[in-house]
């Protein structure tokens, strides 16, 4: 213990960039925005305390409920579909002796590196109603493609498709996890007469559940953050199209378009509470569902 205390100064000194940054760029902003969320703050004038007025106004605001609904719908589609797609791809790519699996893995991973803005431009072009590749290809097989970006019903599906395009990171994590499952377990399962699908469900899936949990939490938080894609696909000079409006776009508009920093801070705080609650719930649930090798974690 004496030695630990002797090193206290050195430890603090080496960790000081993080400690300072954590206070300055994380704790202070979060604390300060709790205060702003209780004020009327048009930036150019000092904040004026208004109690819970910002929260009350948001809860009576049509656009607020619209963006909550759209973001929830988007998340409700992306989280299960993204997880299923990446598990299926990982299971396929981890097949032993599969030729070209490295190349395929690289192909799946590359879209995650494409700058969001460039990716948004690509999808803007692919979804174009007249000359976009998707509708031109659909026309060749005799299907009249929808007007993806103008027709309200297709806005969220279009966003979900773009999100599935960048699941590559999850796929890579799952492949690695699958490759670390001991071969002896598969041997035992085969001796028990299990087929490929049952082996995946009863051996692979339980063994890689920590990776699945980690990725699901990350994906959930990420799906709340969707911004650039709907910003590019569904915004023009007249503003954001309702069908493609999401939570953080409204937060952004509140702050940097309408100069309502109080309302924007209230939205930031509600988001923070939801994200932390969901993360906490998932970690709690994991104690029951997730299998950690070697007993309790």
Partner 1 sequence: MNERPVPPLPRAALWALLFLAAVFFALPLVWMLATSLKPETQAASQSLSLLPDPPSSALRHARDNYAAVWTDPSIPFPLYLRNTLVVAVLAVMGTTLSSAFVAYSLSRVPWRGRSLVFGTVLVSMMIPFPVLMVPLFVLFRRIDDTMLALGLPPEHDWLRFIGTLKPLWVPAWFGGAFNIFLLRQFFMSIPRELDEAARIDGCGHWTIFWRVIVPLSRPALAVVALFHFIYVWNDFLAPMIFLTHRDQFTLALGLQMYQSKAGLTPWNLLMAASTMVTAPVLLLFLLTQRSLVRSVAGAGLKE
**H-helix segments, the chain:** 2-6, 8-22, 28-36, 53-59, 62-93, 101-109, 116-126, 133-140, 155-164, 168-179, 183-191, 196-199, 205-207, 209-224, 228-233, 247-252, 261-289
**CA atoms of 163 and 172, how far apart (whole Å):** 16
Coil, helix or strand for 162? helix
Nearer to partner 1, 105 or 154 (CB): 105
Shortest spacing between CB 279 and partner 1, in angstroms: 6
Shortest spacing between CB 54 and partner 1, in angstroms: 12
Nearer to partner 1, 62 or 131 (CB): 131
Nearer to partner 1, 243 or 251 (CB): 251
Q: How many CA atoms lie within 13 A of 168 on its CB side?
A: 16
Shortest spacing between CB 44 and partner 1, in angstroms: 10
Shortest spacing between CB 219 and partner 1, in angstroms: 12
Shortest spacing between CB 6 and partner 1, in angstroms: 9
Nearer to partner 1, 1 or 153 (CB): 1
**CA atoms of 213 and 77, how far apart (whole Å):** 17
Longest alpha-carbon distance in the chain: 79
Q: Provide the 8-state DSSP code for 276.
A: H
Nearer to partner 1, 73 or 210 (CB): 210
Q: How many CB atoms are closer than 10 A to CB 243?
A: 19
């Amino acid at each position: 213990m004496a030695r630990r205390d002797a090193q206290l100064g050195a430890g603090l000194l080496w960790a000081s960039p993080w400690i300072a940054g954590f206070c300055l760029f994380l704790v202070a902003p979060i604390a300060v925005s709790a205060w702003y969320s209780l004020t009327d703050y048009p930036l150019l004038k000092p904040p004026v305390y208004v109690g819970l007025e910002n929260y009350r106004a948001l809860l009576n605001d049509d656009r607020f409920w619209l963006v909550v609904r759209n973001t929830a719908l988007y998340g409700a589609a992306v989280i299960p579909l993204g997880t299923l797609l990446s598990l299926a791809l990982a299971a396929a790519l981890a097949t032993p002796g599969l030729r070209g699996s490295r190349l395929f893995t690289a192909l799946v991973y590359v879209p995650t590196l494409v700058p969001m803005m460039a990716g948004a431009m690509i999808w803007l072009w692919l979804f174009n109603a007249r000359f976009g590749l998707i509708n031109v290809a659909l026309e060749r097989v005799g299907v009249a493609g929808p007007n993806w970006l103008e027709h309200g019903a297709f806005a969220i599906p279009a966003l979900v498709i773009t999100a599935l395009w960048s699941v590559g990171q999850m796929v890579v994590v799952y492949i690695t996890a699958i490759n670390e499952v001991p071969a002896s377990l598969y041997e035992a399962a085969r001796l028990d007469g299990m087929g490929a699908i049952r082996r995946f469900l009863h051996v692979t899936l339980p063994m890689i559940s920590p990776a699945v949990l980690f990725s699901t939490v990350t994906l959930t938080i990420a799906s709340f953050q969707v911004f650039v894609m709907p910003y590019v696909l569904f915004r023009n000079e007249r503003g954001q199209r309702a069908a493609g409006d999401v939570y953080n776009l409204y937060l952004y508009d509140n702050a940097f378009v309408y100069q309502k920093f109080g309302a924007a801070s209230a939205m930031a705080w509600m988001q923070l509470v939801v994200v932390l609650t969901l993360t906490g719930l998932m970690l709690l649930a994991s104690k029951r569902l997730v299998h950690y090798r070697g007993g309790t974690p």
